[in-house]
Structure 1
Amino acid sequence: MSRSDLDRFDRKLLTLVQRDAGQTADALAEQVGLSASAVLRRLKRLRETGVILGEIAVVDPLKTGKPNFFLAALEIERERPELIARLRQWMAAEEQIQQVYYVTGTADFVLVVVAPDVGAYDALMSRLMADNPNVRRFTTNVALGVGKRGLFVPIPD
């Protein structure tokens, strides 16, 4: 499904469920101007076509053990497709790595990592280096506080 296949109802639904996926079909229908059954059909189609990738609960980290957030910038040796694919697969399999960005600039990847403490972060990065010899080096920034955290994607009208 392409951007042009999304009508104004789809766009409004996507905005609403990104803000609160727990809303009932009736509540969504009222806000969008459709019937609850039409909303359910549209949401089903958006899931089946991969527009909606998943629905998650956003957990307050302060109420679940106050983990630390680390921003790691990785530099790789060679940009061979098979080596990059292997590294991406490794990072995708690690629960502590929340986000991975392939970027331009001095780093090749920027990671958002959550860990209970510096020791756990260090252990993860030691494994990353040992399991991925194509990673030349990494630098780390420790988040002292979180001003905003989210995955909201603005949907233009």
Structure 2
Amino acid sequence: MAAMKLDRFDRRLLNLVQDDADQTAERLAEQVALSPSAIQRRLRRLREAGVIQRHAAVLDPRQVGKPTFFLVSLQVERERPELLAQLRRWLAECAQVQQAFYVTGEADFVLVVATPDTEAFDALMLRLVAENPNVRRFTTNVALSLVKRGLAIAVAEDGDE
């Protein structure tokens, strides 16, 4: 699928809604210099084109039980397409896996995992290995503190694509 052509208004709008998707069309219109109805049309077009995939609430970990965050590097035994597809499905369906990247280097996948505690993480990893025999090994780093968390992609606002 070809990338949607974004003009400077689209780019500005995307940066604004990544920062706060709850802003009203009126508030966004003030910042983008378009009418509220034009903002609504653009947002609908960006959603329909798949540029905006979803809206999500960002929670404060301290308010919801202070989960422990783990950075996990996975190595697989074989990189056969069907085995990788099975592992990708498992990772995508696992609620505790916040992010999963297929990467180059020593590891094949790098994961961001959030669980209530180390016991829950250990149980999750035992299940991962039991249900995915192609996982050869994994290494884990425990996050000591949260410095920055986000999913925003900086969209260059100058120039058209």
Cross-structure match for 1:87: 87
Runs of at least 5 residues in structure 1 that lack an aligned partner in the other structure: none
TM-score (norm 1): 0.98
Cross-structure match for 2:70: 70
Question: Which of 1 and 2 has higher RCO (CA within 8 Å, sep 6+)?
Answer: 2
Cross-structure match for 1:44: 44
For residues 39-78 of structure 1, give each alpha carbon's deviation from its aligned partner in whole angstroms, at most 9, with x where no partner exists. Answer: 0000001001100010011100011110000001000001
Distance in 2 (CA, whole Å) between partners of 1:85 and 1:29 is 43
For residues 1-46 of structure 1, give each alpha carbon's deviation from its aligned partner in whole angstroms, at most 9, with x where no partner exists. Answer: 525x000000000000000000000000110000001000000010
Distance in 1 (CA, whole Å) between partners of 2:60 and 2:130 is 32
Q: Secondary structure at the match of 1:74?
A: strand
Cross-structure match for 2:121: 121
Q: Secondary structure at the match of 2:27?
A: helix
Distance in 2 (CA, whole Å) between partners of 1:6 and 1:83 is 37
AA aligned opposite 2:18: Q
Cross-structure match for 2:149: 149
For residues 89-128 of structure 1, give each alpha carbon's deviation from its aligned partner in whole angstroms, at most 9, with x where no partner exists. Answer: 0000000000001111110000000000001001111110
Runs of at least 5 residues in structure 2 that lack an aligned partner in the other structure: none
Distance in 2 (CA, whole Å) between partners of 1:81 and 1:41 is 40
Q: In the comparison of the two structures, how many residue pairs are matched?
A: 156
Between the aligned residues of both structures, percent identity stands at: 63
Q: Secondary structure at the match of 2:17?
A: helix
Cross-structure match for 2:110: 110
Cross-structure match for 2:61: 61
**After TM superposition, which residue ranges in structure 1, 4 or more long, deviate above 6 angstroms?**
none
AA aligned opposite 1:2: A
Cross-structure match for 2:96: 96
Distance in 2 (CA, whole Å) between partners of 1:132 and 1:31 is 49
AA aligned opposite 1:87: L
TM-score (norm 2): 0.95
